[in-house]
């Protein structure tokens, strides 16, 4: 399918992704997983569960390969790659730029995908790794949530999830995932990660001075002050009223999503309502709480300047 792995699409902590083609000519993305312990029951369980999902904003799983300790997952191919390609400092400058309308539709589509995982499936799914790298874009820039390697499935009748290890990526990790004193792990943990993605999309993380950026907790505080002072939002700012309103709406909603305590965050359904509603109807969120108990470096979690470190600590 990959013609001996000729075209590499990406690399992550899980392994590498290659472009491939089925016998009928359909292009696919093939994720080759690194060797893991055990005999593959968790892998089969994940593949079987994710294969039951079907939503326009969730990447389609087409199949898998399993031979001994060799594992591969086959997904539909997304020609525009990941959202990170368009919004990060390291983005390819030759890539087409996204308009504010594009970003707004991507935000709403991603939120709808998350709502489906929580409310639309027979079994609820917590993703635990929502970040720009895992939001793929098709030929029309329709967003699709991908990479369910850290996902946790649980019955619909339950709202609280029990996990035995920290899972997620530094910079997008909800505080309660690594500090249980803050609250219980639930779908609000994915809401937090989505809020950080919204602020990334507006471009605020890219505009912050590197020497001032120490933790993900300080970053929201900096964004809040900027919004409160009426400063221009976005990496380059905008004088267009419509675009400025979109940037301000996404920032306000993002700040609501990343409230330190899960009980203060909106549900993903409410997030969609806020994004689709008017800017005038949005209330200013409380300023994110900063305290020693919320320090990213507590609890043995190391910071990573690339904001892409994978955490799976027993």
State the catalytic residues. Answer: 129
Residue 10, SS3 per DSSP: strand
308 CB-near residues (< 8 Å, 6+ apart): 131, 133, 169, 170, 171
Q: Tell me if 31 is assigned to a ligand binding site.
A: yes
DSSP letter at 253? H
Q: Give me the residues paired with residue 10 across strands.
A: 17
| H or E segment and range at residue 182 | none
CA distances from 283 to 121, 219, 233 (A): 31, 20, 18
98 CB-near residues (< 8 Å, 6+ apart): 86, 87, 106, 141
| H or E segment and range at residue 145 | strand 143-145
- The rounded distance, in Å, linking the Cα atoms of 247 and 243 is 6
Write out the E strands in 34-122: 61-67, 70-76
Contact 13, 310 (CB under 8 A): yes
29 CB-near residues (< 8 Å, 6+ apart): 9, 17, 18, 19, 20, 74, 75, 76, 77, 78
Two structure tokens written together for 291: 């305290």
Binding-site residue set for ATP: 31
Binding-site residue set: 31
């Amino acid at each position: 399918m990959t013609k001996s792995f000729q075209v590499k699409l990406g690399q992550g902590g899980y392994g590498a992704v290659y472009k491939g083609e089925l016998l009928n000519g359909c292009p696919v993305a093939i994720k080759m997983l690194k060797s893991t312990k055990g005999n593959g029951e968790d892998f089969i369980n994940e593949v079987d569960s994710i294969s039951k999902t079907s939503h326009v904003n969730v990447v389609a799983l087409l199949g898998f390969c399993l031979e001994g300790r060799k594992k591969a997952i086959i997904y539909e191919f997304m020609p525009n790659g990941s959202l990170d390609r368009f919004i990060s400092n390291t983005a390819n400058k030759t890539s087409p730029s996204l308009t504010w309308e594009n970003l707004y539709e991507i935000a709403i589509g991603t939120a709808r995908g998350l709502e489906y995982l929580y409310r639309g499936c027979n079994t609820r799914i917590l993703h635990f790794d929502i970040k720009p790298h895992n939001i793929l874009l098709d030929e029309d820039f329709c967003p699709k949530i991908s990479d369910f390697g850290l996902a946790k499935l649980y019955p619909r009748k339950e709202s609280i999830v029990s996990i035995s290890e920290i899972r997620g990526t530094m910079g997008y990790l909800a505080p309660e995932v690594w500090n249980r004193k803050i609250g219980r792990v639930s779908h609000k943990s994915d809401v937090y990660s989505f809020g950080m993605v919204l602020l990334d999309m507006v471009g605020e993380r890219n505009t912050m001075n590197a020497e001032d950026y120490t933790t993900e907790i300080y970053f929201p505080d900096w964004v809040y002050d900027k919004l409160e002072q009426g400063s221009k939002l976005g990496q380059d700012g905008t004088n267009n009223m419509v675009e400025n309103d979109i940037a301000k709406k996404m920032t306000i909603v993002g700040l609501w999503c990343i409230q330190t305590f899960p009980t203060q965050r909106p549900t993903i359904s409410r997030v969609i309502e806020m994004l689709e509603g008017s800017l005038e109807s949005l209330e200013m969120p409380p300023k994110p709480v900063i305290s020693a108990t919320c320090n990213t470096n507590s609890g043995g979690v190391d910071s990573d300047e690339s904001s892409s470190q994978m955490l799976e600590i027993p």
